[in-house]
Chain A
């Protein structure tokens, strides 16, 4: 994985029509240029740049963690660290909510796990109608670079499962870089936090899952 090349905006990533320009790239004449700072990935006939940095780009279906910023007459305005605003309508809550009871369900400053239903011109629409979503009332929230989230989750969830098992914590990873950790003991939560931050730091390494298994072994002594 680490032999992927790092590119900067303006760098030529392909000449002569072998590839099609994917995300983070732009075709100018016969050449394709990178328009974002990140890792170059060539697959099939597509060349794209996987960003190493930058604010979270919201996508439909993403699970995100956010903070209630404001309460309107029909829902909650949630801050999920995006430029566009995110909104949770009272219709998207699994039980019936009266217009006057919005504060009872969630107050300003509360943290919530939600899913992105749709993204349109007005903003991002969230839902908490599925299992595992809703207001968070215990545990801690940590924040990582959203571009590292895939690494923390791992292939088919392998990395996050490893961390959950080793630390005995419930963990939900938001695609927007916010992560919820809930353990029975303070020490467990801090341990999970340490593990996650370690993975995020070493995200470019290959064989990271193996290395983390060893790391856990070492930490437990």
Chain B
């Protein structure tokens, strides 16, 4: 721990959590009967649902990759998921996050197993209190497993923040808008089962040393997320 984060004991987060504490995780599998696989994942108030269809034929056929399969992800927020209404339909932000989600999942999805076909992953955010892309990725990973898609492992995604100089785990909206000192820095990170980073982004201001720490914090948090994902999948397995 660097000197900057040593005073973590006294740092007050808006919702009273400890600096490395995640919000309450809720995870459930099998929530969309029509889908081949589906899941819901929530960090506290941030709720994401994901549904997977496939492998199936791709239309138009010329976009098919005969050598390997294709993974397509879409991410969208419901208009009422935030306090100021979002006009329904895709936005530049949702388009970017859709691609980021695909990249976060791709390293573990064994697409060679479904040559020439496509697996579609659809993510929608029901309620947003920051870290929506992370919740979406966590839901998508469970939905893919539920759909029987061969995967090397699941993936776990979480946002690490820096509020002024303090690193915190699992940002909420109030923390994204942090006004004191150096302001907020937002770092969403996704890990694969064997601890490799499949997605990382950053907005804000941070030193190399603290960034390395942030990655460690994320790795720690990912273990808890992994447990929740496994539990949700095993629960539905038993019911079946």
| A and B, direct touch (CB closer than 8 Å) | yes
Instruction: Give the chain A neighbours of B233 by CB distance below 8 A.
Output: 6, 8, 37
User: Given the known A-B contacts A37-B237, A53-B146, A53-B148, are A8 and B57 also in contact in the complex, defined by CB atoms under 8 Å?
Assistant: no
Q: Give the docked Cα–Cα distance between A129 and B150 (Å).
A: 35
CB distance from A28 to the nearest CB of B (A): 9
Interface residue? A35 (CB, 8 A): yes
**A54 & B147 in contact (Cβ 8 Å cutoff):** yes
CB distance from B90 to the nearest CB of A (A): 26
User: Which of B96-104, B131-139, B151-159, B166-174 is the interface stretch?
Assistant: B151-159
Q: Are B240 and A8 in contact (CB under 8 A)?
A: no
Least CB separation from A148: chain B residue: B240
Q: How far is the CA of A51 from the CA of B193 in the complex (A)?
A: 20
In the complex, whether B229 has a CB less than 8 A from a CB of chain A is yes
- A6 contacts B234, C-beta separation under 8 Å: yes
Task: Say whether B78 faces chain A, with CB atoms less than 8 Å apart.
Answer: no
Q: Are B152 and A26 in contact (CB under 8 A)?
A: yes
CB of B44 to closest CB in A, whole Å: 24
Cβ-defined partner of A55 (8 Å) among B36, B108, B154, B234: B36
Interface digits, B103-119 against A, CB 8 Å rule (1 contact, 0 not)? 00000101000101100
Residues in A neighbouring B108, C-beta threshold 8 A: 9-10
From the candidates A26, A36, A83, A85, name the one contacting B114 in the complex (CB within 8 A): A83
Query: Residue A97 at the B interface, CB < 8 A?
Result: no
Whether a CB of chain B sits under 8 angstroms from the CB of A74 is no
Contacts of B229 in A (CB 8 A): 8
A204–B235 Cα gap in the complex (Å)? 13
The CA-CA distance from A204 to B229 in the complex, in Å, is: 21
Compute how far the CA of A36 lies from the CA of B114 in the bound complex, rounded to whole angstroms. Answer: 14
Identify which of residues 49-101 in chain A touch chain B, using a CB-to-CB cut-off of 8 Å: 51-55, 83-85
Residue pair A9, B117 in contact (C-beta under 8 Å) = no
In the bound complex, do residue B238 and residue A51 qualify as a contact, i.e. CB atoms below 8 Å apart? no
**Interface presence of B140 (CB below 8 A):** no
Tell me the bound Cα distance from A111 to B149 in angstroms. 28
Name the residue on B nearest A23 (C-beta): B150
Interface pairs (14), CB distance under 8 Å:
A8-B230, A9-B145, A36-B151, A37-B233, A38-B237, A52-B237, A53-B36, A54-B37, A54-B149, A55-B54, A55-B55, A83-B57, A84-B117, A147-B148
Which residues in B have some Cβ–Cβ distance to A below 8 Å? 36-37, 54-57, 108, 110, 114, 116-117, 145-154, 193-194, 229-230, 233-234, 237-238, 240
- Extra contacts besides A6-B234, A35-B110, A204-B240 (10): CB < 8 Å: A6-B233, A8-B229, A8-B233, A10-B154, A53-B148, A54-B148, A55-B36, A55-B54, A55-B148, A83-B54
